[in-house]
Structure 1
Amino acid sequence: MPVRVQTADFDLSEEVRLLRAGRPEVGAVVTFVGTVRDMNEGASVAELELEHYPGMTEKALEDIVARACARFHLADALVVHRVGPMRPQEQIVLVVTLSAHRGEAFAACEFIMDYLKSEAPFWKKEQTPEGARWVDARSSDETALKRWREGAPG
């Protein structure tokens, strides 16, 4: 279960190519790329900085991916999450799910992102015209988890 936390950017095509290699049973590849927005909560964002606890963060991501693989019968999955300073339009996170069928791959990708947003130990700080501010968790992220906890399909 590949999981990486890194400062460097990633190449979507290359990551998918490497994960799919030698996997003839895979009929579906779903990808999600999260990027830095230039606006958040009504303020212009010049930079987003992500911090994490090395070791703890990777373990949390591995646990999330393991749950997704077991629940959705995935052939494999990949999470690459960047940390450090990033500017608007830069890539933050990549999730790739592989399965025999698209339904499982789509659901697993969404499951991973929903849990990542709520359970992975990352902290976000935005640079705005008014100065630096920490970004609080959104109630919508916790709401998204409820459907998985309450036995949503997939």
Structure 2
Amino acid sequence: MADLDVVIQTAAFDPGELQQQLIGQSTDIGGVVTFTGYVRNANEGDEVSVLQLEHYPGMTERVIQETLENAAQRWPLLAAQVVHRVGELVPGDPIVWVGISAKHRAAAYAACEFAMDFLKTEAPFWKKERTADGERWLDQRSVDTERTARW
């Protein structure tokens, strides 16, 4: 079984350091695929100054863990990790990192995309943006739901 790990934190992270941790001392890895998501400075035509992320502690980790377990059942993975930030973030801050290692690249690519698609639609996170016009809660985007439905 693949080594699966989920971390929810307020602190910033270094994607390169996370990749090195994912690889560790393994010599059977053929490929690592990672995704790093960042806070954008604009959304729906408005400038965003702050993104506030809230989550359901315990449930959030469990849903993401189940997503990684599902990925490991579908593809022969060696390791998978998700690090997701919560709290107050500003444009340019890294918000999420997904790392997948496998013996072959196809499994790593597919599992990384699968994990990110399900993270966007299934993990209980709530996002609120601060703009010049005030604060607004964000709804799930239909494009994300459509991407998840293809799996």
TM-score range, shorter chain: over 0.9
1:35-89 superposed Cα distances (whole Å, 9 cap, x missing partner): 0000101111000010001101000110011111111111010000000000001
CA distance in 2: counterparts of 1:32 and 1:19, whole angstroms: 13
CA distance in 2: counterparts of 1:31 and 1:56, whole angstroms: 24
Output the amino acid matched with 2:67: I
**Of 81, 99, 111, the match for 1:78:** 81
1:22 counterpart residue number: 25
Mind listing any 5+ residue stretches in structure 1 that lack a counterpart?
149-154
Q: Secondary structure at the match of 1:61?
A: helix
Give me the TM-score of the superposition, normalised by structure 2: 0.96
Output the amino acid matched with 2:116: M
1:69 counterpart residue number: 72
2:137 counterpart residue number: 134
Counting aligned pairs with the same residue, the percent is: 50
Alignment of 1:98-137 (within 5 A): 98-137=101-140
**Of 6, 10, 14, the match for 1:3:** 6
**Of 96, 100, 113, the match for 2:99:** 96
**Of 42, 52, 56, the match for 2:55:** 52
CA distance in 2: counterparts of 1:63 and 1:23, whole angstroms: 24
CA distance in 1: counterparts of 2:69 and 2:34, whole angstroms: 17
Give me the TM-score of the superposition, normalised by structure 1: 0.94
Q: CA RMSD in A?
A: 0.6
Matched pairs, number: 148
Name the structure with the higher strand share.
Answer: 2
Output the amino acid matched with 2:99: V
Deviation of 1:22 after TM superposition, in Å, equals 2.1
CA distance in 2: counterparts of 1:123 and 1:38, whole angstroms: 18
Q: Secondary structure at the match of 2:150?
A: helix
1:107-133 superposed Cα distances (whole Å, 9 cap, x missing partner): 110000000000000000000010000
CA distance in 2: counterparts of 1:35 and 1:19, whole angstroms: 20
